[in-house]
Structure 1
């Protein structure tokens, strides 16, 4: 294994406390950049979460929290491992369609027993998480995969519609959301509910929430082609670093994905790219092959 020296600095602020904003997020405090031929400015990153616990007892995470931690750590690795000439292209400073791909890829590691057994142990007995329990969790996830996909598509549709062409005189957002829900989901709309007013991604990802679905497709293709056979492979890890994460926003995402995982992972469309959905459908068992 090659010793690459210091890669960057990662600050962890994982526990909840009074007055702390209830968020789990990655923050790039300083991006990496080439200072000279012999000097590189190392990135500085913070991972901020709100896991319940105290100084008197160990913090015990449920699996959803573990998945969230892996998601945000995917962003952190993107920032820490990128090696770009300019700070503006460092780490997660990429086109929106590609930004959530590393984080979604690392979520897959949180569902793989071979990965979980390396650290997931009972806090008092030290017993490794049972394989049967992980298989049961995976089964439950797949049972509602279509419902979850429907929910994500609805979020993206609401986002696109509200940020699309709307009259300048004001709109009834509740009516728009209710109509989209009736058209595109199997759920009954409950009058008087306003979930979209609490959907923070409408502010942070205005007209861009679809990128989560793009990223899920890209990440699932990478996982199935490269990581699924042996998620702990050093060769695969090296490829993810050198072909995927180190480019930041300095290389076209289509070129990154094709060079990493081979052709077919992206498709050209109206001058841009769209993901191939085959791998995601297979993962959700919506497509039999």
Structure 2
């Protein structure tokens, strides 16, 4: 029963991904160039109708209480980027052998050793031994959704 409960969390993975894309898009719009005649609520409504599955609820302004839209300064997308990087590193470096010493040493050398002192893309390139493209990031996120859904279906049988 506990196992099924844990697996059931994967059912909403696609909805969560859509929500994260919506938040990241809204953050980019709020911090980008947009018509000054529109209120943040008008922008929210337009963006939600375009990028999110649930409709905007009239007379709400939840964006005013969602501090990530201010504190991150157009960097909310980093949640999705970190998921994608983690997925790529896991699949390409550790999936076949999670205890691979050479991969672990490379992880320490390329990613952990620098703290915040090195450009993140250079660390990812060093770890993956290639420069990932936008398509690579998207594929990593989509394949995780596919894997979660397939795992859920198999465990439900």
Sort the TM-score into its range (normalised by shorter chain).
Answer: 0.7 to 0.9
Q: Which of 43, 47, 58 is the equivalent residue of 1:191? A: 58
What is the alpha-carbon distance in structure 2 between the residues aligned to residue 278 and residue 209 of structure 1? 19
The structure with more helix, counted as a fraction of residues = 2
Confirm or deny: 8 A CA contact 2:41 2:61 kept in the other structure. yes
- 2:34 is paired with a residue whose SS is coil
Higher relative contact order structure (alpha carbons within 8 Å, sequence separation ≥ 6): 2
Tell me what 1:143 maps to: 11
Shift of 1:191: 1.0
Q: Which of 120, 140, 144 is the equivalent residue of 1:283? A: 144
1:214 aligns with 2:75: no
Gap regions ≥5 residues in structure 2: 151-157
Tell me what 1:43 maps to: none
- The number of residues matched between the two structures is 148
- 1:206 is paired with a residue whose SS is coil
1:133 aligns with 2:2: yes
Confirm or deny: 8 A CA contact 2:13 2:145 kept in the other structure. yes
What is the alpha-carbon distance in structure 1 between the residues aligned to residue 17 and residue 109 of structure 2? 31
Structure showing greater radius of gyration is 1
After superposing on structure 2, the runs of 4+ consecutive aligned residues of structure 1 that deviate more than 4 Å are none
Normalised to the residue count of structure 2, the TM-score between the two structures is: 0.77
RMSD: 2.8
The structure with more strand, counted as a fraction of residues = 1
Normalised to the residue count of structure 1, the TM-score between the two structures is: 0.45
1:242 aligns with 2:109: yes
Shift of 1:172: 1.3
1:111-141 Cα deviation digits (max 9, x unpaired): xxxxxxxxxxxxxxxxxxxxx734642x323
